[in-house]
Every structure is written in structure tokens, then in C-alpha cells.
Structure 1
Amino acid sequence: MSLSPEGQLKPPVRRRPSWSEPWFKDQDLKHVVLKLRRHSLSEMPPLEPDETLALTLDHPSIPNFTSLLSDELLIIILSKLPESQHIPNSLVCKRWSKLSGRLVRSLKLLDWNFLESGRLVYRFPNLVYISLVRACIQSPCNSGILLTHKFVSVHLDSFSSGGGFIRKQDLLHSDLINRGLRILAQGYPNLRKLVLIGASEEGLSSVAEECLTLQELELHCCTDFSLRGISGCRNLQILKWIGCVDGFYNAVISDIGLTIVAQGCKRLLKLELVGCEGSYDGIKAIGQCCLMLEELTLCDHRIDGGWLAALSYCANLKTLKFQSCKCIDSSPGPDEHLGSCPTLEELHLQRCHLRDKQGVRALFLVCEAVRELVFEDCWGLDNNVFGTSSICRRVQSLSLEGCSLLTVEGLDLVVLSWKGLQRLRVVSCNNMKDSEVTPALAALFSVLKELKWRPDSRSILSSSLLGTGVGMKGGRSFKSV
């Protein structure tokens, strides 16, 4: 308050709110409109913020200042907000709903009718990633039981699983899926990634014809011959093919399907096969035709013995991963027939059974040029089996996690033979004891560029490492430049 020349009190001057003030305070658009229109609502009963904003924008007797903004400007403003606020903002009014839908790039569809009715394309016109798996499975959505797997999740109404939790009759009919895929392909010609289940050749063909920029495809429960539909995906770079998931569904992945993929998708960079069967011939076809393939992942494979020799045909393979495999190769054959992958840089073994020394040794022979070796929660990896990894003379980085059978003695024999080793990571290998670290191994620790030594939660390196920075508080992990 201030005094006038006549000595009377003057009312305070209210500063008009500006658009820029709320943005510097990192507030929601709701608060912007509320500040602009607060004086218009001063005589109305108090409302919640969402109700006030909706009333401000939709009430016919109240000016809507956001209408002064063009769609292009308003969508830029909306894009600056966190993604978590896109849905609340879309509920403000019809215009905001339409503009917020243009910001959405990825979506997992739950209701198939939303696609068939055309509402999906109208509501979200700029999608580049769509997953249709949940929408293709006919399951009771109101069930209190949700079974989740690494690759798929489904609602259950009972525990009767004669042929798996997802039976053939639980999937939408192929004609229905094909019709939906045609709508999808025509509505999203710029689609980059698509996740499907139970798709047929006809449905995949429509996607291949319309979505010329499709780069990543994930297929669940598809047969060999359905893959003839993706031969038109000339720019496909990443393919994840899930055939068998124990307890959920079972589709056969054989040499026929692998050959179709090899001949139709020659620009593949990454290939992941889950629950696949097949043999030497299928892997050989992949290696001979997909000359750009850089990463191959095999999860829970059931490939016939003798297939490891086919890896030598993958001339540019850089990363090889095994996940949850019960066997590497049951019958690898003579060493002279195995060949090798000269460009291989990384070999990952995660949650695999490695009790078969012959198969593991054959794998290391094929991967003798590898630079980075990773073991994670592998069963049967004892000193004897791990000792075969000394074949890989060029290893620069070794990571061991959850290898409870390994001892310091087994580690010592292998890592000291690798003259180029620069990085070592040992975590949760409870059978390794600090007291067993030899002077030679301690000397190696002191010259490594990167070391993480935590075989168990109580591990404290011995005094022989004093001066290296290892063994001190917070010093069990270090990097040297």
C-alpha cells in the first residue's frame, strides 16, 4: 500500500501475469492458464485445478487464450513437458487431446477394436513403434492374476495350461489379425518397429509392402512359412524371432524358417532366436546370406549337435550371446572342422549350463579371437571348464558374476596367460577368497586399467595390495587412465 498526495491510501497495483514467468519456474501448462484466467473465475465456487482448466478452455462464455496459439506453437509447448504429463494434458479438451496424440511415438495396444475402428491411427498419427501382442491374446483383463515372463505377460482365469498358458484358441483368428495389419500398415507407412504374435504370411506381406522404413521386427509364435511375408522388408536390420517359451506357447523354428530369413533379410545387423530348433544348415544359411550380421543371440536354443562349425560363415560377426541355454553343442565334432570367427569381439554367456566341457571348449575354439568375455550366473562353470577359456589369447576384458564354483586358483591359471588383459570384474563368486590371491595375481591387479573385485560382501583384499589403491575403503573398484 502507498499514500496519495492527499494522504489517502492507494490500492496496490496488480501486475498482469506473463506467459514467461511460469516456464522459468518449470510449472505445468495448467498453472499458466490458471494465472491468466484467475480473475475471470474469482466469483465462481472453488474448483479443482483440472476442473478449472477444462472450464477455462471449454466454457463458451470465458475467453480461451490458448486459442491464440497455433497448433505448431502449442505442440512445441506441450512437447517440453515430461512424458508422464501427456495423458493428463490430453484430457483438457478435444484440441489438446489431438495435439498430445501427435507427440506419442511408441504404444502397446491392449484393445484390438481400437485398431480396427480406425481410432488408433486418428488418435496417434505419428507412431513409430507399436506392440500388438497383448491385443492379440484373448484373456480376461479383469482377472486378478497376471502372469509375466521376460517376453510376454497374460491375464489368467485358471491354472489349467494343457498346451501352455497361451493356447492357439487364445489368439485372434489369423483373418482378423491380417485385417488389422493392413489398417496398421496403411496408417503408419513410417513405422520403424513392430511386435507381433501369431502373424501369417499375408499379414506380414502387407506390412512389408507399405512400411518401407521398418527396421526392427519382433515375432512371437510364428511358423516357418509365415516368414515368407517379411522377404519384402528390404531395410529390416533387427529381427527377434520367439518360437518356444516354456509354459506359454510353442512354435517350431527350423532350418526352413532360418533359410527364408537368410534369403529375404540380407541387411540384418542383429538376429535373436528364442527357443529355436534347426541345425548346421540353418545357421550356415544365415552366415552366407546375411553378410552384414554383427550380433547373434541364442536364447534357450534346441539346435542339433554340430552346429557350432556354421558360425565360421558369419564373416562379420562381432557379438555372440548365449542366454538360458541348457547346452552349447552336444556334438561339436573334430577341432579341424570347427573354423573360427576372426572378427568376433564379445562373447556373453548368461544363465547357461556349462557342465559339458567338450561343447564349451569347442565354443572357445570358434571364438578364439574374442576380446571381451562375460560369464553371468552360469551353472557348472568350475575351474576345469573355465580353464578351457585360455584358448582365447586375445582377451582384454573378463567379467565373472555369480560363478560360485570358481576359485582363485582357477582364475589365476587363466588370467595370467592373457598378456593383454586390461579389465577384470569379479562379483558374487563366493568361492574366491582374498587370502588365496597369489603375488603374481596381485601384481596383475596393480597394473590393470580397471578392476572390480567383490567376490562376496565381506571381501577385503590383503595387505599385499597396499599402494595400489585396492583394499582401501571404496578402493575395490578403480580405473586408471
Structure 2
Amino acid sequence: MSVLEEKGGLDSNVPVVKKRTPSLSDIWVKNAKSLNHVLFTMQLPTLSPEDPKSQTLIPKFSNVDRTLLLSDDLLLKILSRLPVSQRNPNSLVCKRWLNLQGRLVRSLKVLDWDFLESGRLFLRFPNLTHVDLVNGCLFSPRNSGILVSHRMGSMHVSSRFSSNWRICEENLLPVDMVDRGLRTLAGGYPNLRKLVVIGASELGLMGVADECLTLQDLELHKCNDNVLRGIAACENLQILKLVGSVEGLYSSIVSDIGLTILAQGCKRLVKLELSGCEGSFDGIKAIGQCCQMLEDLTLSEHRMDDGWLAALSYCENLKTLRFLSCKKIDASPGPDKYLGSCPALGRLHLQKCQLRDKKSIRALFRVCGVVKEIIVQNCWGLDNGMFSAASICRRVKFLSLEGCSLLTTEGLEAVILSWQDLRSLRVVSCKNIKDGEITPALSLFISALKELKWRPDTKSLLASCLTGTDMGKRGGKFFKRA
């Protein structure tokens, strides 16, 4: 009698089925999860290296990614503390590090428009707050060997130029495509803080204003009056740069109409830059009256009508006034009694401007009569007569002159000796200011300053630095006459 018949009393006619002993492969299939855990544990480093038994029980694997033990949040904190210069190398370690490194990026320049429209931008960089779309809005012809570079960006152009020489206009994306990209961007980044774009319309910017309520910094290239209607809804905007026209690249008009719309819509502006913009007294006056928080105003290559300078007196809280690459200041500023002044102005900065009209320069210094810092850098036409108009600014504490080749020692002395509050002086690359022409009065005045940087002649400085090095003489033996 079999074992089954003794225990269960089974019928002898029923065939007996014997169970097969499970194989090792069956155990692996049923316990795959547990097996993976065992294998992973075998790959972990030894927890107690000093224990000789543990060294023999758990083998070591040198190619194990030990960062798998760290959570994403912890690894993000570690990666965020590394230098910015290591971001690109770190992103090449593995796919996980690539994704984590993308989450740390906050500012980005988009070079490919399809990268934005396809949605790959949001997957790769989900936490962006600063986006520059200018280079992405420009398409370059293929197989072009001509590269045009500008501070705005670089682009390849074809050899056939248009008759108006507006290169950028021929390489811009259509307006509807730019607007569609802006709507996509605003939907993906509702916490956007800064945006730089070119060729957008009113509708595209209104979409950004509706979605991105925290937008604070905006830079618009190829801007016009109609486009400014779209940014009037950006109530929290604090920094704004408007670029109307750039010679040789594109042309657009920003007039008093656009400046008035801007002033009524963006009343929280703190910093404003107008580049290549037209306008007059009315536009600047509207900005001064409505944007009462404005502290920093920059005019670059402006095309303002005559008489606009008097409107600066309406900017009561203006602290910094800059002129960059301006061919003129104000050709006809009007009588002095209508000019007024900026009561809170602290800094006047002139860079790469043409200062050839004495009447205009005199009006500028009168408006800036309470200024405490004057910086003149690489401006043309500033001679003794032009600089003498600055003597009206009695509260100057810091003066910086760089690249003023027409100004002499006599002209400098005539002005700064009348500034009793002057504490810092910087004179660099002004070749007509000579050390040998310094009078005892000027020498005594300079010696009482708290800070002085005196390098008027760079050639003499270079010669003194090369003394004893035989530089400039070594080529003589190669070019001797036979």
C-alpha cells in the first residue's frame, strides 16, 4: 500500500500524481523582487570596513553608482552648492544628473525656437525664471559664411542685402509665430520674472501679462507704440528696456503715444531704458508724473525732439541718469527758467556721447545741478569750454574722466577747484592732461582727496612699466640696414 492510500484512503483506481521538485529557476521567477534586493545589497559598500568578516561576506563593486542611495531632494541640495562652472560636466554623468541639473537652472537663452514650441524646454528646464528669446526669434540661412555680431546677438546672413540695410528684419520669425511661442512660454512658466523678446505684438505680450503675474523685468526689441499697449497689463513690472530702432538691423517707432501708454500702465517702474526711441517733452513728462517710483533712467541713441530735457524735472525721485551713444543731448533746450532740476539726482553718467553743443551741455548740467557723481567715459567734443559748464554742480563728490582727449589740465583745474565737496577723482587716458602742468594749487587740492586714480597718459605708464625689460628694442637686430 502506498503512502497516499494509508493517509487519505484514496481510491486505488485514481492515478497518483507525484509533485515535481521546484528548480532554482522557479525560485528566481517567484522571488524576483527579493532577489533584486539581495543583488543590490551585495553591491553596496561595506558598512563596517574594520570588520574582517564583513569584507569576505559582501563583495565590492567599483562601478556602482552610490548616489542611488540619495533621494532627488538631497542630491539637488548637493549639486546646488557646487560652482556654476561645473554644471555642464555634472550633467554628463548620467540621465538622472542631467534632469536634476536642469531643475537647478533659472536663467536661459533659447537658441532654437522649435525647442520652445515642442515643449522640450519645459521638460529639460522646469524651473526657469529668466528667459531670453532674442536669438531664438532669428533664423539664419543655411550655408552662410557671413556672421553679423551685435550686443543684441549674432546671426548668419545671406550675401544679398536689402536696399534699406535692415538685416535683422529679414531674419525675424513671423509675428504670429512669436506670439504663439510667448503663449506657450507663459503657460509653462507662470512664475517668470524676466523676459527678453524681439518682434512680438500686443496680443503676445498680453498673454504673458495675464499668465505671468510676477513678471518684473522685461526687455523688448523692435518695439512700437502698439506693442506698448500689451505691457500696460504688467502691473508688477519694475525694470523695462525698450529698443525702438537699431541702425542697420531694424526700424521701429516709439513716440509720445507709446510713452504715455507705458506711463499710465506701468506705474511701479523703478528702472527704465529707452534705446532708439523717439519722443518729446510730453512723453517724458507723462513718465515723470505717473511713474513716481522711477529711480534710474537711461537714454541710448535717443531721437528725442528739441526741448525734451526740461521734462526731466518731473522725475522727482530720479537718482541715476545715463546717456549712452547719443549723438546729441538736446539741440534746443529752451530758456533756463523752464528747465527746472531733478531734486534727488545723485549720478550722471555720459558714455560714448557727442558733446559738441555747448548750449545743450550747459542745460544738462543745470538740470543735474544737485548731482553728486559725474562719470564721463569716451565722449567726443568735451573740451575746456564744454567742461566749464559743470562748475554749476557744486555738490559733486566723485568725478571720473576717461578718454577725454580734448580736456587739458587747465580746464580740469578751473572746475574742480570750485568743488569743495570733492572727495574722489579718477582721470584715465586723458592725453592732454599733463603732470608737468599741475599747479601748486591743484597739487594741494589733489593731496587732500580721500581717493585718487591718476593715469592721464597711458603711454607714459606703459613706458615706465617696461623699464628694464628691453621691450621695444629687441626687434632692432632683425631690421638693421645692411
Deviation readout 1:276-313 (Å, 9 max, x if unpaired): 11111111111011000001000111100000000000
The 1-side partners of 2:139 and 2:219 are apart by 20
In structure 1, how many angstroms separate the alpha carbons of the residues matched to 2:142 and 2:429? 40
**Residue of structure 2 in register with 1:273 after alignment:** 274
What is the TM-score of this pair, normalised by structure 1?
0.81
Say whether 1:219 aligns with 2:217: no
With normalisation by structure 2, the TM-score equals 0.81
Name the residue aligned to 2:348: 347
Aligned residue type for 1:160: F
SS in 2 for 1:317: coil
Aligned position for 1:307: 308
C-alpha distance in structure 2 between counterparts of 1:393 and 1:402, whole Å = 24
Q: Deviations over 1:152-211 (max 9, x none)?
A: 322223262433353434211121111111111111111111000011111101111111
Q: Please say if residues 163 and 249 of structure 1, whose CA atoms lie closer than 8 Å, have aligned partners that are also in contact.
A: no
Which residue number corresponds to residue 40 of structure 1?
61
In 2: Cα distance, 1:216 partner to 1:161 partner: 34
Q: Does 1:129 align with 2:150?
A: no
The residue that corresponds to 2:251 in the other structure is 250
Aligned partners of 2:400 and 2:75: how far apart in 1? 49
Take 1:383 and 1:159, find their aligned partners in 2: how far apart are those partners?
47
Residues 7-35 of structure 1 deviation map (CA, whole Å, 9 limit, x = unaligned):
xxxxxxxxx799xxxxxxxxxxxxxxxxx
The within-5 A match list for 1:400-411 is: 400-411=401-412
Q: 1:364-443 alignment to 2 at 5 Å?
A: 364-443=365-444
Deviations 1:3-60 (A, max 9, x none): xxxxxxxxxxxxx799xxxxxxxxxxxxxxxxxxx9636xxxxxxxxxxxxxx5xxxx
- From the superposition, tell whether residues 168 and 17 of structure 1 become closer, same or farther in structure 2 (CA, over 3 Å): farther
Local SS of the residue matching 1:133 = coil
Look up the SS of the partner of 2:196 in the other structure. Answer: strand
SS at 1:225 equivalent? helix
2:169–2:249 CA contact under 8 A, matched in 1: no
Contact 1:178 1:203 in 2 (8 A): yes
Provide Cα deviations, 1:234-262, integer angstroms capped at 9, x if missing partner: 11110011111111111111111111110
Asked whether the 8 Å contact 1:433–1:459 carries over to 2, the reply is no
Q: Distance in 1 between matches of 2:111 and 2:374?
A: 40
CA distance in 2, matches of 1:421, 1:141: 58
Q: Shift in Å at residue 220 of structure 1? A: 0.3
**Counterpart Cα distance in 2 of 1:166 and 1:308:** 33
| 155-164 or 258-267, which deviates more | 155-164
Among all aligned residue pairs of Structure 1 and Structure 2, give the percentage whose two residues are the same amino acid. 65
Task: Check conservation: 2:408, 2:434, Cα contact below 8 A.
Answer: yes
Relative to structure 1, the CA distance from residue 397 to residue 167 in structure 2 (aligned partners, 3 Å threshold; closer, same or farther) is: closer
* 2:157 and 2:167 in contact (8 A); partners too: no
**2:413 and 2:88 mapped to 1: Cα distance?**
56
Q: Report the AA paired with residue 220 of structure 2.
A: L
Counterpart of 2:290 in structure 1: which amino acid?
Answer: C
The answer to whether the 8 Å contact 1:307/1:329 transfers is yes
Secondary structure of the residue aligned to 1:249 is: coil
- 1:364-397: CA deviations, max 9, x gaps? 1111010001111111100011001101111111
How far apart are the structure 1 equivalents of 2:459 and 2:221? 44
Aligned ranges for residues 39-58 of structure 1 at < 5 Å? 40=61, 56=63
Change (3 A) 1:357 1:17: farther
Q: List alignment gaps of at least 5 residues for structure 1.
A: 1-15, 19-37, 42-55, 57-62, 461-472, 474-481
Equivalent residue, structure 2, for 1:67: 68
Are the equivalent residues in 1 in contact too, given 2:161–2:167 (CA < 8 A)? Answer: no
**What is the identity, as a one-letter code, of the residue corresponding to 2:61?**
S
Conserved in 2, the CA contact under 8 Å of 1:253 and 1:277? yes
d(CA) in 1 for partners of 2:365, 2:65? 69
Further displaced range: 376-385 or 85-94 = 85-94
Provide the rounded CA distance (Å) in 2 between the counterparts of 1:17 and 1:301. Answer: 70
2:96 & 2:239 partners in 1: Cα distance?
37
Residues 108-123 of structure 1 aligned to structure 2 (within 5 Å): 108-123=109-124
Structure 2: runs of 5+ lacking an equivalent: 1-44, 48-58, 462-466, 468-482
Provide the residue aligned with 1:52 in structure 2: none
> Alpha carbons of 1:17 and 1:437: their partners in 2 closer, same or farther (altered >3 Å)?
farther
Call closer, same or farther: CA 1:439–1:458 in 2, change over 3 Å.
Answer: farther
Q: Which residue of 2 aligns with 1:103?
A: 104
SS in 1 for 2:261: helix
> Matches of 2:46 and 2:230 in 1, distance apart?
59
Counterpart of 2:389 in 1: which secondary structure? helix
The total of aligned residue pairs comes to 407
Q: For 2:142 and 2:365, locate their aligned partners in 1 and report how far apart those are by CA, in whole Å.
A: 47
- For 2:286 and 2:167, locate their aligned partners in 1 and report how far apart those are by CA, in whole Å: 31
Q: 2:318 corresponds to which residue? A: 317
Within a 5 Å distance, the mapping from 1:157-236 to structure 2 comes to: 157-158=158-159, 160-236=161-237
User: Structure 1 pair 186/418, CA: closer, same or farther in 2 (3 Å)?
Assistant: same
| Cα distance change of structure 1 residues 264 and 164 upon mapping to structure 2, 3 Å threshold | farther
User: 2:324 touches 2:353 (CA, 8 Å); kept in 1?
Assistant: yes
Match of 1:86?
Answer: 87
Do the aligned residues in 2 keep the contact of 1:198 with 1:222 (CA within 8 Å)? yes
Structure 1 pair 201/367, CA: closer, same or farther in 2 (3 Å)? same
DSSP 3-state at the match of 2:407: coil
8 Å CA contact retained: 2:139, 2:172: yes
The one-letter code matched in structure 1 to 2:344 is T
**Of the two, which has the highest radius of gyration?**
2
Instruction: Identify if the C-alpha distance between structure 1 residues 387 and 93 changes in structure 2 by more than 3 Å, giving closer, same or farther.
Output: same
d(CA) in 1 for partners of 2:332, 2:438: 37
